[in-house]
Structure formats: C-alpha cells, structure tokens
Chain A
C-alpha cells in the first residue's frame, strides 16, 4: 500500500503552534507512507489539486489529511480523493487543529502530538477497504412540528413546491406567538391581518394535513424514511362535526378557566375557541375547569351544540405518518416574570408581562383593545417599561440577549401613545439593540415623535404605594437615582427555549445547547440543518429571533427539504455493521441491542439462524459490535482491527517503555 500524508497549515491556525513541516517530515517514516508534504490551505482549490496530483504522480492507494475536524471538511477531501480516482473511503483525517493546535501553546509538545495523531490515522488507513454506497428510495413527505409563523412558512413553501406536508401544532390553533401580538415592528401593521391569510392558506392547501392539538409521540427511521407517531390529544369535541359557531362557549357556565391565549389576563370558559381567526376554528374542552369533568354533571355544551359534536368520553388517539424529512419549528416560551422578586411580577396585579400588554392592546383581547389596569380597570397614564427581564443576566442563567425586546418595547410605547394620547411612557434599558432594517429609526421615532422617555439603567425595585407603583432605579447617564410613580409596569420578558424542547430533541436525536435551544449543524454555514440527516430547524427553537428572521428560516428549511427531495433516491452511508456469516452463531444478542431495529435474524442455506443487517436502517453506532460475543459483527470503516491499530499507534511505544523499566 502507498499512502500519502498532507499536513495543513490552516494559515496560522495550525502552523502557529505546530511545526507542520516537521510533522510531514516525521510522517515519511511511518509505515507504507510513500509521500508526505505540508500545504498552506489544504481545503483550498490549489490544496485539493495538490492532493489529486500527488495521488496520480505517486500512484497512491490512500490519503491522510492532517487538518481540522472531520465535521468540517471530511466530505471535501473525500470528494478530492474520488476525483483522483480512489475510493472515497480510502481516506482518513487527523484532527490537529481542534484537538491539538487550538488547545495547547507548547509548540514542541503540539508537534509531537500532531505526529502521533497522523501516525494513528496512517495505521487506521492501512486497514481501510473500498466501500460502496447503496441507493434507497425516499418518501417525499415532510413533517413540520410547530404551527407558529416559522412552521407555517415552512409548510406553505414545501406544499407550494409540490410536497405533501404534515403540520403538527400542540395548541388548538396555529398562529403561535405572532397571533397574540397586536401590531408588529417596525411597520406597526396589524399582526393578525398579515398572519391571518397565511393561516387560511394552510387550512385550504390541498398538500397540507394539519393536526392541531397534537404532539409528536415518537420518531423512528432515518432520512428519507421516518415513521412518526402523532398523539392527537382528546379535545372532547368531534372536530368533524364542530362548525366553530361558538354557541357552547357562550353558554358554558364555567367562567373561570385559565385563558392561555390571553396570557391569563382574564378568565375564559371551560370550552373554548381561543380567538376569532383561529385555524382550525374548533372548540376544545379544558377538563381542569369543565363542570362535567369536575362534578360529573353539567352537560350544557352538549345540550346547546347544534351539531352534537360534544363527546365527554373522547380519549387521546394516535396516528402514524411516514415522512422523509422533519422541520422543527417549536418556537420559544417567555421568561417567568416571578423570578425577579424585586419587580413584584405575580404579586402586584399591575405589574404585567409584555405579552399580557399585547393582549390588552389587541382589539380582540379581553378589554377590546382598551388599555386597562388589571387591578381596577383604570386607564393608566404613566406606563413604565422595564427591559431585559430575563435577558443578559447571568444571575438568572439567561446571559443571552433575546434580541427582540428592545424593538417590541419601542412599539409598545408608540401604541400606548396612540391609545392614550395624554399618557407618558418610560423605558428602563441597558443598551438599545436595534440592528435590523429600519429598526434603529423606529426606536428613535418612539423617543422623538412619541415622546417615550428612555432611561439608561436598571430598576432596583417596584412596589405599590397607595394607588400607584413606585418604580425606583438608576439613571446611569445622569449618575442619579430615579423614582417614577407609575400606573402600570410592563416587564419586557425575554425568550426561553420552549417547555418540552429537550424531550422533543431527544425523540428527534438532535442536540440542544445549555439553555435548551436546538443546535444548528454549523453556526454560520449550516444554520437550518441539524447534525441528524433529514431534520431541519426553523424559527426561535434554534435561538430567539423576530418575525422576519423566523419567516426567513422557515423558507430556508423548506428550501433544504425541497433540495433533498429533488432526487428520487438517496445514497446510504456504507459505514454500517456487517455480519461475518462464518462466525455468527445466531444468538440474536445484536438484534436485542440495536436501538434502530436494523438487525434481523435470517437463515443461511443450511437453515442455521444468522444475523442480518438492514443497511439502510443501520446508523453505524457500533453497539452491536461490542455486544457480539463472537466478534462476528463489524462496523465497516471502524472495525476492531482498525480501532486496535489506532490504539497501538498511540500506546505501543509507551507500553514498551513501561515494560523495559
């Protein structure tokens, strides 16, 4: 075998702390290495060409590139060796950047470590065999999880592109957070007026199947062939019969139910349609408040329903769907305003969240769009907004900026002035973050045209005094304390990962960060992909973002799915388990161990039981290989021999030395 080794400078990323020429020189003495050199940027076009040329000139059988992480450029170099006429699996990568040059400053030690990593790759490559990918059919349907604006956009784009879409929404209507908003920044246009038509499009689109009040129960399978189980939660109303007339809601005697859509600002009925433009416009019974469920008698809704849609006996049901890709658009939740005891959220009725304020501003909200204090219904004249409530604060484990609060607060000051012309708004802020198109102009407008008083500083305390709330804080520009007697205090709560985000991530086998936001495959270059093939991200589930960014990501995720489905077949990864028929005794341990159901028991020609791997289902995790008592099952490209060769490469010398001493 003739092996070529290419050691990358990566500019100064590697060469700064590793003697790359020295590593290349050392590699010349490694077993079966026929050629070794260093390259300035091996991933660049001249770098790749140098590899191709060297393969051809020196008649190489395999290539080792010592550079960055394989997560970054393994596909790049595999394509290069393929261009040179080799099998793409006759290639190994040694990570001497993330695992070496970036973590240590001692150049000598780094150089020794880099050489060791190259030797390890060379030893593994000596056991590499050419592998061939197989093709498999794909199911060109897509599942979109979450019916907020990002999910709606993704669903519509996919459906318009000719794909069949299954859209899942956990509440009884799509629309998400955007449907709750009164107006949107920086245009101050009506939120439900621009979202409403899109929601109707979803309900009318022949390619979209909508499951509202439903959640993802489980996911099996792999890119191109996922099988998902959808839990349709019991609504206690037969939606095929319900016409959304609302008569049940009008007559329901249980009037103290929690109104999630209105953020608890006013109670609602136990049977409920959240808002007039709801899609689907169907009623749901909340059994925690319904008298039929609590007391066992009532039945008013069943009596008044003109279509006899009420069904108190309804149970959760499950639907199975087959799809080829999944877009998660599960959005965010709001920071719990009670966590700041000093602001009194939850203790004082006139300290509310920004989302509750949206519902007070909204014409279809509980006050009909009239701003009223929750305590006494009085119209507030002085409104204080406190920004960064649950953003940029390590003490509550929310060190990140939520990104949209500065903008919606500016919008709310403008709306406050529009609703109550003789009102005055005050905004306590840390910094104004308004980097979008027309965003900074918008915040200036709030200050200059609408007279909102912006005070740079934090609030130390809010407390009730007679009929008002005293807001005490600091003005860091004046260097003095300020105290404002306010009628209403609005807390600009930040974004958190939505509740249940981590459980869903585990079902989808995608990763999430310390705060529960889903991890994109690459923060710059693969913003809507995950590290699980066929699963994409859209909207705030990946990190807090505003409406334009969420819509943009929804479309981007749809484009990714459309590109994936532009082929009829996908290539399977040949790095999968393979059974040696001669060694297998048919014990079936691997069948039980495999988490993907990728191994089945078959019979050989003599009728003996033998394990058999379904290549398209196998994920190459390697669990079966360590389970097999006969070592009969081996993971291609990561065989026991290869792992041992790597261990020997690193440990042989140390082991021999320890025996000698």
Chain B
C-alpha cells in the first residue's frame, strides 16, 4: 500500500443526492486503501449539461473555478468519481490549454484566475494507475468468487480519447482488472461504452427504454448476476428505471446494478453504512446470496477433496 497518495477531491452534485451510495463507498474504499481525499473547499457545479447547453465559456468558468480552488490548495491532481464532472473539468482544462484566448475569457469570470496546472483524473484512473491492481487485490477479505459481473463503463469516461486520455476508448479494461482482483468473474461484455440514454430519461423516456434495455438484455444473455458501473447517470437508468424497462419491453430483468466502489467495499469487508447497498432499487440480496451459496458449495467440495 502506498500511504503517500493524496488528491484534491471533487464529489460532484449527484454524489450528494442520487448517487450518495457512489460517493460514500468511494470515500470508504479510498480510506481503506490509504488514499487521502481532500475535498475542494466551497466547490461548485462543474458546469455540465445545463450550463454547457447555454454557454461554453460560462460552463468552462464553472469548471475552472473548481480547478482554481484546487490550485490554491496546492494540489496537483483533482479526482472525481463522476464521469460527467470528469468530462467537463477535462474539456475546460483541455480547451484552455489549446486556446489561450479562451482561457483569458474564462478567467474574466473568476475572482481567482485559473492557471490550469492541475491534472484531472477519475477515481478509477487514480486507483488503477497510481495505486495499481495488486494493491487493491491485497485488501480483499471476502472475495466475490462466483459473482458474474458485466462491467459497464458508460459512454464518456474514455471518450473522446484525445481529451480523456485514459484506457482503450472502445474496449476499456481498468474496471475489469479491479473486479477480477476482487475475485469476481468478469464477463466479456461488448457494450462497455454504449450509450444508456443518459438524460433522455427526462425528455424521451422511450429512447432510454430501448438503449438501457439493450444493455440489460446483453448482460442477461451472457448470464450476468450483476452489472458494475462507474457513472451515476448510467446507474440510475439501469437500476432505477429497470422496472419501467421491464414494463416497456415486456421483460423481467432483475439485475442489480452496483457502483464498482460498492463491490470493492463488499470485497474489502466494509460495513453497510459505507456501502449503502440499501439504496439500490433492484435489491442486491439475491445475487449476493447466490454468490455466498456458490462460495460455500466450493468450500464444501474443497473440504471433501481434502478429506479424501
């Protein structure tokens, strides 16, 4: 374990509401791994979708404000669990770097100008690149043996590649590696970076039904017990809307949709207060029970072979 790792931490707005379970489990997992998260004081909205649709400079200024605050903390890296925040922070930093005139315009909105020196990463990137899969695997107390997981990254964590600059944009593997280290069986899930319908859930629910329905169908056809995600919006569409999807498509999916940090916490043996599994709409119980049974059966068989 590397106790030196310390980051400026940007939770993002959904972390305080719809994805509280992601936020709490992220903090818990980082604590267990000895990663120090320093929350950016007085952080504000990253400027994602609503601001971005109206004014790019304004949207970038919101991101730049947070980056500027991180600079004032003396930090060189900001990490965030939310891919939407990640995208907006990175796009703002990328464009300011490419276009000095844009940076000037953005900085006119800010009390403290953004020098644009901090690096922005997802928590996932920090875990896999800075800490490494071995250190994570070492922390495992209750392996997720027998749990078949479809890893689903969402559309924006790795794309566009020239901005995000992390993992394979068509076939990312970072989460696969972590989950495999937890002892789970990671399925070759081909729609890792497909669109779930995202915020169309408000305007065109039918689109989300189709797109997220397809994701669930593929996971189901591969025999998945659960889906792992890294994005609050993906999680919401797949989990919270699963009953609606079932009704619309006349299917009966019962796939729990975990944040990968919840699965890490489970494997690390953390308590429910750190995981908030009760926040999931599709209960995790049956999948975890099945995993438990499989583990017990395996242990029994193991014991028998030893006796013989």
Contact = CB atoms under 8 A, between A and B. Distances in A.
B171 A466 contact: no
A464 B168 CA distance: 19
Contacts of A461: 194
A465 B171 contact: no
B190 A464 contact: yes
Most A-side CB within 10 Å, residue of B170, B171, B190, B221: B190
Interface string B184-221: 00001011001000000000000000000000001001
Contacts of B168: 341
B169 A344 contact: no
Contacts of B190: 344, 348, 463-465
A567 interface: no
Contacts of A437: none
- How many B residues touch the partner, as a band? 10 to 19
A465 B220 CA distance: 11
A619 B169 CA distance: 51
A498 to B, nearest CB: 27
Contacts of A463: 190-191, 218
A42 B168 CA distance: 59
A341 B221 contact: no
Contacts of A465: 190, 218, 221
Contacts of A466: 221
Contacts of A347: 171, 188
A108 interface: no
Chief secondary structure at chain A's binding surface: mixed
A342 interface: yes
Contacts of B170: 340-342
Chief secondary structure at chain B's binding surface: loop
Contact of A341 (B171, B194, B218): B171
Interface string B203-245: 0000000000000001001000000000000000000000000
A347 B192 CA distance: 14
Nearest to A340: B170
A344 B192 CA distance: 12
A466 B191 CA distance: 13
Contacts of A340: 170
A340 B221 CA distance: 25
A406 to B, nearest CB: 25
B238 to A, nearest CB: 17
Contacts of B191: 463
Interface in A307-353: 340-342, 344, 347-348
Interface in B76-104: none
A106 B157 CA distance: 50
Interface in B165-189: 168-171, 188
A461 B171 CA distance: 11
Nearest to B190: A463
Interface string A113-140: 0000000000000000000000000000
A559 to B, nearest CB: 48
Nearest to A460: B194
Contacts of B194: 461
Contacts of B218: 463, 465
Contacts of A342: 170
Nearest to A466: B221
A415 B191 CA distance: 32
A626 B194 CA distance: 63
A603 B105 CA distance: 77
A342 B221 CA distance: 20
Interface in A424-468: 461, 463-466
A572 B246 CA distance: 85
Interface string B151-172: 0000000000000000011110
B148 to A, nearest CB: 16
Contacts of B188: 347
19 contacts: A340-B170, A341-B168, A341-B169, A341-B170, A341-B171, A342-B170, A344-B190, A347-B171, A347-B188, A348-B190, A461-B194, A463-B190, A463-B191, A463-B218, A464-B190, A465-B190, A465-B218, A465-B221, A466-B221
Interface of A: 340-342, 344, 347-348, 461, 463-466
Interface of B: 168-171, 188, 190-191, 194, 218, 221
Q: Across chains A and B, which 6 residue pairs bring their CB atoms closest together, nearest first?
A: A341-B170, A463-B190, A342-B170, A341-B171, A466-B221, A464-B190
Given A342-B170, A463-B190, A463-B191, 16 more contacts: A340-B170, A341-B168, A341-B169, A341-B170, A341-B171, A344-B190, A347-B171, A347-B188, A348-B190, A461-B194, A463-B218, A464-B190, A465-B190, A465-B218, A465-B221, A466-B221
